[in-house]
A and B are shown apart, each in its own frame.
Chain A
Amino acid sequence: MLDLQTGGTEPVVRLLNVTKRIGNRTIIDNLTFDVPPGEVFGFLGPNGSGKTTTIRMMVGLMRMTSGEILIRGRSIRTEYEAAVRQVGAIVENPEMYKYLTGYQNLLHYARMIPGIPRKRIDEVVELVGLTARIHDKVKTYSLGMRQRLGVAQAILHRPALLILDEPTNGLDPAGIRELRDYLRHLAKHEGTTVFVSSHLLSEMELMCDRVAIIQAGKLIDVRLIHGGAENGGKAEVLFEVDRPDAAAEALGGAVLRAESGGIVVSAGREEAADINARLVAAGVRVYGIRTVTKSLEDQFLEVTGGGRIG
């Protein structure tokens, strides 16, 4: 289980009432949340919900209409250079200079931040596994290789915060797996806070410690993943029975809801066995017992109301 350092440590990113209006359309509406250090933080929302706009504001590519974004306490508006120095990012696709080699691209970004020795470039190239092709022109790279080069430029200066916008776009399953492992490694062993946006729910579930969900520019919810233990080991359990009404009556108020062909209760492992005994004693026939696991996808669709484009 992960050590979630929620109390006591300063958030790496703080969004305070961030609002973006273009014309009279409100793209981002009063967004407020904190990103705790050392976590992989997911930013989830359907297409067009404002994820990329938020990221653009976090790195200073777009201005906020109102509100404030702090990166390790530095304002992206008033102390841009100090704030952005701590950030490495890929915004949308990792677009590189195609007529330059991978190495020249990295050299380009390395020159923009003082104190990056050539050795560090080699190290990063090794890390993302591009050593064999780094001196080839980027136009000969596959999408996966460009994505790797994108990660390489983002981590060159060992940023405290790594922002990746839809990082799994265009990656094959092996590439996604590798990226996931690598991000987890960065967060766990190097203390880098990773902020990833995605509309791929299953992906986020595997990658993140915590997920903020936005829709139509509004924050819907921030929740922990792997958070099952929070309910004291209880889960929703479905009992398939012949007479749901009679079963509900037998259990009193413990029933969460009755469905066709069964009832759902909140119960731990032992309780489930007890409930089963009570049902049988009440003359209800039990055909099956199973826990109803709610995936992030269900939760997501539930909170966003089916994911209509906002």
Chain B
Amino acid sequence: MVDFIRLIRNENMKIYRRLRTWIMFAIMLIIPLGISLGAMALEADPDMWFFSYLEAEVVLSLITIFAVIIAADSVAGEFSTGTIKLLLIRPWSRSKILLSKYVSLLLFMLFFTVSLLLFTLLVNGVLFGSNGEYTYPNQGSRSYIVYLLSYYGLNLIQIIVTVTMAFMISTVFRSSALAIGLSIFLLLGGNMMAALLSLLDKPWVDYVLFMNYGLSTYVSGGTPIPDRPFGFSLAVLAGYYVIFIALSWCVFRRRDVAA
């Protein structure tokens, strides 16, 4: 176990010792800061909870894109630079090496998300404070922080599925460009496809991955697919997740490395 933590530290080193990671981090902080400063100039009576929620929506999609970039590069990058050869000829099974990469990826995502949450709360708290009048849609008896945390949590599930898909594409096709391109295309095009597909009156439509995105609507009382329960969407995403993971591990374990 201790030895496995050393593998994760290696993967972390490969993420955080790169300038690009810190540029992403800076972008992620500058955008909500900009929104808040802009609001301070324009809005008469801004509220910290409203802006924390608004900015979360914007920056969570940025985190998705950044995490997809890191995921896409994670395995494919080692192949394209040839470092995969020196990485694999160590006394570690390929499964564990892949797992260390995946874990470091999830940690990266968690680190970015938690930093964002704390940062927006801090900035908006200091700049605006709460005016006590604003309530979230369908907030009921829930406190602001519980509501906000649920929103983050639901989004995080969705981000994990997307990032795992990028990780799978990266592992199977060994191309960072393809993994980034395809994941982002599916992410952006997914919404459009979902809108089009929902016009079709076919039972399989509900099982398409992107039809079940938008888990976070649950926080305000909705579900991703109007006439399906929340658990259905969760189960469909879980099904895709298992497939992505199984594909990644099967292919990575068996592949001949000829890079």
Report which A residues bind B (CB closer than 8 A).
Answer: 56, 59-63, 80-82, 84-85, 87, 89-100, 104, 107-109, 111-114, 153
Interface SS of chain A: loop
A104 near B258 with CB under 8 A, answer no
Among A80, A91, A104, max chain B CB count under 10 A is at A91
Cβ of B17 within 8 Å of any chain A Cβ, yes or no, is: yes
**Across-interface contacts of A87 in B (CB, < 8 A):** 89
B91 near A112 with CB under 8 A, answer yes
B92 near A81 with CB under 8 A, answer yes
Contacts A104-B13, A108-B10 given; does A81 touch B91 at CB 8 Å: yes
B91 near A96 with CB under 8 A, answer no
B90 near A112 with CB under 8 A, answer yes
Nearest CB to that of B96 among chain A residues?
A81
Contacts A61-B257, A92-B85 given; does A99 touch B91 at CB 8 Å: no
- Please name the 10 residue pairs, one residue from A and one from B, whose CB atoms are nearest each other, closest first: A95-B82, A61-B257, A111-B6, A112-B90, A85-B91, A81-B91, A62-B256, A59-B89, A91-B85, A108-B10
B17 near A89 with CB under 8 A, answer no
A9 to B17, CA, bound (A): 46
A107 to B9, CA, bound (A): 10
A97 to B83, CA, bound (A): 7
A273 to B21, CA, bound (A): 78
Cβ of B143 within 8 Å of any chain A Cβ, yes or no, is: no
A241 to B83, CA, bound (A): 61
Nearest CB to that of B6 among chain A residues?
A111
The distance from the CB of A41 to the nearest CB of chain B, in whole angstroms, is 18
A59 to B93, CA, bound (A): 12
A99 to B73, CA, bound (A): 14
Nearest CB to that of A137 among chain B residues?
B17
A99 to B88, CA, bound (A): 19
Cβ of B188 within 8 Å of any chain A Cβ, yes or no, is: no
The distance from the CB of B160 to the nearest CB of chain A, in whole angstroms, is 26
A61 to B257, CA, bound (A): 5
Contacts A98-B81, A114-B3 given; does A109 touch B86 at CB 8 Å: yes
**Across-interface contacts of B258 in A (CB, < 8 A):** 56, 61-62
B side interface size, CB within 8 A:
25
The distance from the CB of B43 to the nearest CB of chain A, in whole angstroms, is 42
**Across-interface contacts of B83 in A (CB, < 8 A):** 95-97
A61 to B3, CA, bound (A): 22
B89 near A113 with CB under 8 A, answer no
Partner of B86, one of A60, A80, A153: A153
Partner of A112, one of B7, B13, B18, B85: B7
**Across-interface contacts of A96 in B (CB, < 8 A):** 83, 86
**Across-interface contacts of A91 in B (CB, < 8 A):** 85-86, 89
A84 to B97, CA, bound (A): 15
A109 to B7, CA, bound (A): 9
Cβ of B228 within 8 Å of any chain A Cβ, yes or no, is: no
B90 near A84 with CB under 8 A, answer yes
**Across-interface contacts of A95 in B (CB, < 8 A):** 81-83, 85-86
**Across-interface contacts of B91 in A (CB, < 8 A):** 80-82, 84-85, 112-113
**Across-interface contacts of B92 in A (CB, < 8 A):** 81, 112
A100 to B13, CA, bound (A): 9
A95 to B9, CA, bound (A): 20
Nearest CB to that of A110 among chain B residues?
B6
B13 near A108 with CB under 8 A, answer yes
Nearest CB to that of A81 among chain B residues?
B91
A63 to B253, CA, bound (A): 11
The distance from the CB of A10 to the nearest CB of chain B, in whole angstroms, is 21
**Across-interface contacts of B7 in A (CB, < 8 A):** 111-112
The distance from the CB of B247 to the nearest CB of chain A, in whole angstroms, is 19
A104 near B93 with CB under 8 A, answer no
B257 near A62 with CB under 8 A, answer yes
B17 near A100 with CB under 8 A, answer yes
A113 to B18, CA, bound (A): 24
A92 to B257, CA, bound (A): 12
**Across-interface contacts of A85 in B (CB, < 8 A):** 91
Scan B244-257; emit 1 where CB is below 8 A from any A CB, else 0. Answer: 00000000001011
Nearest CB to that of A112 among chain B residues?
B90
Among A56, A94, A95, A100, max chain B CB count under 10 A is at A95
A111 near B9 with CB under 8 A, answer yes
In B91-123, which residues have CB < 8 Å from any A CB? 91-93
